[in-house]
C-alpha cells in the first residue's frame, strides 16, 4: 500500500508542474512530425533524450534501419530512457508515438506553435498524442523528484510511425527485445481516451486485395469475353447477403466503443475494374478482364484468423463455380491480431483505483475499434499487461483545431504516477 502522505506529496508536485507541463507540450508540438513522410523524428527524439538525460535516465536512440519506410531523408528514429531504483523490482513503461497525421484544412490557429488559450494547448498532435506524452513525462518527473523510485524501474519510449502501422516504431523496438517480459512488466500508452477510461485492447484487422479475372473481348461482342466486373458483382452480393448477416451476429465480450464495434465488421475500401478510362472520357470498348476490391475486415478476439480468411475464399469459390472463365487471387496487404489485457491485471486494477479516487466515479473499461501500438507490444514483445490510458478526447484526434486540456493532462499525470508507484511496490510481480 502506498501511504496517503506520499500520494499528497506526489500530487502536490504534479500540481506545481503545471507551467512545466504546458511548456513541454508546446515544445513537443513545435516539431512538425507529420507522417507520412515521417518528418523531424530525429529532432524530437534528441529533445526527448535530453529531457530524460537531464533527470538521470539512461537514454538510447534507436533507428529502425532496414524498415521499409526508413530512409536517409526520413530516418525512423525512436528514443528510450530508463530510470532504475536501488532495489530490483517491476518496470513500468510509458510509450507514446511521436508522429502526427497531416494538418488538413479548417484550422483557425497555427498548428505547430503550441497556442495556449482557455486552459487548452492547441496544435496538430496536441491530443493524439503529444499531450499524453507530456503528461506521462510529468508523472515520471514527479516520481523522481519526490524520491519515490526506490524499487523497480521506470521507462519512457517515444516511437515513430504509429499512424502508419508502427513497424518502424513500437514494432521495431518489440522485435529488438525492448518489450520483453524480462525487462518490462507494465506498459501504459497515453493515447487520448478521456482521463477516466482505460482501453484494454483492440480488434484484429485484415486488409486484403481480392482480384477477379475474366477474359478480355470486344465491347461490341461481350459474349466472347468473360466480364470480371460481373464476377465481382456476384462476390459483393454474396458478401452483403450471406456474410454480413453472419458477421453481425458475432458479438465480442471485449468492451469495444462505440457499441457497433462489438461486432465483426467488413468494409469495402475501394474497387477498380476494367481498363483505365482515357483522359477525354471516352470508354475503352472492351470487356473488363479484371476487377480489384480492397477489403478491410475487423475481427474479434473470439474469431480465428484462418477462418476469417477462409470465409472470403469460400465465397470466391462460389463465384468461380457459378461463372465459367472467372478466376480469382488474394493479395494480403496487412494484418494485426486482436489483443486484450485482462481486466483483473494489476495494471488495470491500479489505474482503476486511482481514476476512481481522483474523479470520484468508477473508471470505464473500453476497447478500441481500430488498432494502435498495443499489438506490437503484446504480440511481438512478451509483455502481457499493456493498456492505453491518457488525457484528451478521442474525437478530437486527426481534426482541425486539435487541443488538449491542461487540467486533463494534470489529472491523468496523477493517475499515471500513482498507478506506477503502486505497481513498482507490487510484491507479487517479478518477485
Ligand atoms: Zn495516437
Whether the predicted pLDDT of 260 surpasses 50:
yes
Mean pLDDT computed over 326-350: 96
How close is the Cα of 133 to the center of ligand 1, in Å? 11
273 in helix, strand or coil?
A: strand
Same-domain check for residues 8 and 97: yes
CA 88 – CA 187 distance, rounded (Å): 18
pTM, two decimals, is 0.91
Do 169 and 237 belong to one domain?
no
Kindly give the distance from the C-alpha atom of residue 210 to the centroid of ligand 1, in angstroms, as a whole number: 29
Does residue 278 have a pLDDT over 80? no
Q: Residues near 300 by Cβ (< 8 Å), separated by ≥ 6?
A: 203, 204, 250, 251, 252, 254, 263, 264, 338
SS3 call for 207: strand
431 domain-assigned: no
- State whether 76 and 194 are in the same domain: yes
Residue-level length of the chain: 431
What CATH number is given to the structural domain containing 17?
3.40.630.10
Distance (angstroms) between ligand 1 centre and the Cα of 97 equals 7
Centre of ligand 1 from the C-alpha of residue 417, in Å = 21
Q: Which domain holds residue 396?
A: 4-202+338-424
Mean pLDDT of the region 272-287: 83
Residues 219 and 303 in one domain: yes
With respect to residue 409, please indicate whether it lies within any of the assigned structural domains. Answer: yes
Partners of residue 364 on adjacent β-strands: 197
100: CA distance to ligand 1 center in Å?
A: 8
pLDDT digits (tens, 9 = 90+) for 367-400: 998 899 999 999 888 898 999 999 998 888 899 9
Q: Is residue 430 part of a domain?
A: no
Whether the CB-CB separation of 24 and 134 falls below 8 Å is answered with yes
pLDDT score for 249:
97
Q: Is 296 exposed, middle or buried (0-12, 13-18, 19+ CB in 10 A)?
A: middle
What spacing in Å lies between the alpha carbon of 142 and ligand 1's midpoint? Answer: 24
Distance 128 CA to ligand 1 centre (A): 5
The number of C-alpha atoms within 13 Å of 84 and in the hemisphere containing its C-beta is 6
How remote is the CA of residue 56 from the centroid of ligand 1, in Å?
Answer: 28
Cβ atoms 183, 175 nearer than 8 A: no
User: Per the structure block, which three cell numbers stand in for 274?
Assistant: 476494367
Give a yes or no: residue 103 inside a domain.
yes
- Considering the domain architecture, whether residues 45 and 189 belong to the same structural domain is answered as yes
Query: Is pLDDT above 80 for 1?
Result: no
Residue 20 or 276, more confident: 20
Question: Is the separation of the CB atoms in 319 and 247 below 8 Å?
Answer: no
- At which of 293, 314, 336 does a domain end? 336
If asked whether residues 140 and 78 sit together in one domain, one would say: yes
Q: Could you say which of 312, 336, 360 is where a domain stops?
A: 336
Distance, CA 393 to ligand 1 centroid (Å)?
Answer: 11
Specify if 10 maps to a domain.
yes
Whether the predicted pLDDT of 235 surpasses 80:
yes
- pLDDT at residue 280 is higher than 60: yes
Coil, helix or strand at residue 36? coil
* Whole-number pLDDT of residue 162: 96
Q: Examine the domain organization and report whether 166 and 238 are in the same domain.
A: no
The Å distance, Cα 430 to ligand 1 centre, comes to 30
For residue 307, the CA-to-ligand 1 centroid distance in Å is: 30
What residues pair up with 329 in beta bridges, in sequence order? 211
Q: How far is the CA of 129 from the centre of ligand 1 (A)?
A: 5
* Buried b or exposed e, range 380-396, using 16+ CB within 10 angstroms: bbebbbbbbbbbbbbeb
Assess whether 43 and 76 both reside in one domain. yes
What pLDDT was estimated at residue 193?
86
Other C-beta atoms within 10 Å of 316: how many? 21
Contact 100, 133 (CB under 8 A): no
- Indicate the SS3 state at residue 187: strand
> What value, to the nearest 5°, has the Cα angle with vertex 151 and ends 147 and 155?
85
Q: Is 294 helix (H, G, I), strand (E, B) or coil?
A: strand
Percent of the chain with pLDDT over 70: 99
Please tell me whether residues 195 and 209 are part of one structural domain. no
CA distance 121 to 129: 12
Cell numbers given for 270: 475501394
C-alpha to C-alpha distance for 156 and 20, rounded to whole angstroms: 18
C-alpha cell at 101: 497525421
Side-chain-side CA neighbours of residue 276 (13 Å): 3
Q: Which residues contact 27 (CB under 8 A, 6 or more apart)?
A: 47, 114
Which region among 26-40, 139-153, 235-249, 383-397 has the lowest average model confidence (pLDDT)? 383-397
* Domain closes at, from 284, 309, 336: 336
In a domain? residue 77 = yes
In this predicted structure, what is the pLDDT of residue 431?
38
State phi, psi for 84 to the nearest 5 degrees.
-105, 135
Q: Tell how far the Cα of 395 is from the centroid of ligand 1, in angstroms.
A: 11
193 alpha carbon – ligand 1 mean position (Å): 10
3-state secondary structure of 231: helix
Whole-number pLDDT of residue 428: 58
Q: Give the Cα separation of 134 and 419 in Å (integer).
A: 17
Centre of ligand 1 from the C-alpha of residue 423, in Å: 25
Looking at the predicted structure, is the pLDDT value of residue 76 above 60?
yes
> In the prediction, which pLDDT does 430 show?
42
In a domain, 429, yes or no: no
Q: Are residues 97 and 130 in the same domain?
A: yes
pLDDT of residue 429 exceeding 50, the answer is no
Closest CA to 202 of 252, 256, 163: 256
Specify the CATH number for the domain of residue 278. Answer: 3.30.70.360
Work out how many domains the chain is built from and give that number: 2
Average pLDDT over all residues of the chain: 95
Q: What is the pLDDT of residues 320-336, one digit of tens each?
A: 999 999 999 999 999 99
Q: Are 91 and 57 in contact (CB under 8 A)?
A: no
Centre of ligand 1 to C-alpha 171, Å, is 15
The answer on 52 and 198 residing in a single domain is yes
Residues 327 and 221 both lie in one domain? yes
Residue 218 within a domain: yes
Q: Who wins on pLDDT, 281 or 143?
A: 143
Range 304-333 average pLDDT: 97
- What is the mean predicted confidence (pLDDT) over 175-186? 96
CA distances from 105 to 1, 26, 380 (A): 50, 21, 37
Q: How far does the centroid of ligand 1 lie from the alpha carbon of residue 295, in Å?
A: 23
Amino acid at each position: 500500500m502506498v501511504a496517503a502522505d506520499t500520494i499528497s506529496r506526489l500530487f502536490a508536485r504534479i500540481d506545481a508542474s503545471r507551467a512545466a507541463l504546458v511548456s513541454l507540450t508546446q515544445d513537443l508540438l513545435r516539431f512538425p512530425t507529420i507522417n507520412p513522410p515521417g518528418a523531424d523524428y530525429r529532432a524530437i527524439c534528441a529533445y526527448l533524450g535530453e529531457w530524460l538525460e537531464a533527470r538521470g535516465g539512461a537514454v538510447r536512440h534507436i533507428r529502425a534501419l532496414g524498415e521499409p519506410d526508413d530512409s536517409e531523408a526520413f530516418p525512423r528514429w525512436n528514443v528510450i530512457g530508463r530510470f532504475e531504483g536501488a532495489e530490483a523490482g517491476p518496470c513500468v513503461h510509458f510509450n507514446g508515438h511521436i508522429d502526427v497525421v497531416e494538418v488538413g484544412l479548417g484550422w483557425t490557429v497555427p498548428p505547430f506553435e503550441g497556442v495556449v488559450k482557455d486552459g487548452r494547448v492547441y496544435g496538430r498532435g496536441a491530443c493524439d498524442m503529444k499531450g499524453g506524452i507530456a503528461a506521462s513525462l510529468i508523472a515520471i518527473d514527479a516520481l523522481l523528484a519526490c524520491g519515490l523510485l526506490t524499487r523497480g524501474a521506470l521507462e519512457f519510449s517515444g516511437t515513430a510511425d504509429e499512424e502508419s502501422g508502427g513497424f518502424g516504431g513500437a514494432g521495431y523496438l518489440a522485435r529488438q527485445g525492448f518489450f520483453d517480459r524480462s525487462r518490462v512488466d507494465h506498459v501504459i500508452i497515453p493515447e487520448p481516451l478521456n482521463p477516466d477510461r482505460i482501453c484494454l485492447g483492440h480488434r484484429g484487422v485484415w486488409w486484403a486485395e481480392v482480384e477477379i479475372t475474366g477474359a478480355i473481348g470486344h465491347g461490341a461482342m461481350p459474349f466472347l469475353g468473360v466480364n470480371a466486373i460481373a464476377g465481382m458483382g456476384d462476390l459483393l452480393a454474396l458478401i452483403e447477403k450471406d456474410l454480413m448477416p453472419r458477421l453481425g451476429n458475432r458479438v465480442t465480450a471485449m468492451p469495444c466503443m462505440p457499441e457497433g464495434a462489438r461486432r465483426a465488421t467488413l468494409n469495402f475500401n475501394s474497387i477498380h475494374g476494367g481498363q483505365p478510362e482515357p483522359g477525354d472520357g471516352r470508354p475503352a470498348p472492351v470487356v473488363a478482364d479484371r476487377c480489384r476490391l480492397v477489403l478491410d475486415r475487423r475481427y474479434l478476439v473470439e474469431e480465428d484468423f484462418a477462418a476469417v480468411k477462409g470465409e472470403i475464399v469460400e465465397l470466391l469459390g462460389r463465384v468461380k463455380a457459378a461463372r465459367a472463365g472467372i478466376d480469382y487471387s488474394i493479395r494480403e496487404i496487412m494484418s494485426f491480431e486482436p489483443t486484450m489485457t485482462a481486466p483483473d491485471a494489476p495494471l488495470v486494477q491500479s489505474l482503476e483505483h486511482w481514476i476512481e479516487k481522483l474523479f470520484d466515479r468508477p473508471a470505464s473499461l473500453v476497447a478500441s475499434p481500430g488498432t494502435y501500438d498495443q499489438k506490437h507490444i503484446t504480440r511481438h514483445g512478451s509483455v502481457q499487461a499493456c493498456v492505453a490510458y491518457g488525457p484528451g478526447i478521442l474525437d478530437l484526434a486527426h481534426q482541425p483545431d486539435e487541443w488538449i486540456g491542461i487540467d486533463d493532462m494534470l489529472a491523468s499525470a496523477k493517475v499515471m504516477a500513482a498507478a506506477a508507484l503502486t505497481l513498482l511496490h507490487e510484491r507479487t510481480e517479478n518477485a
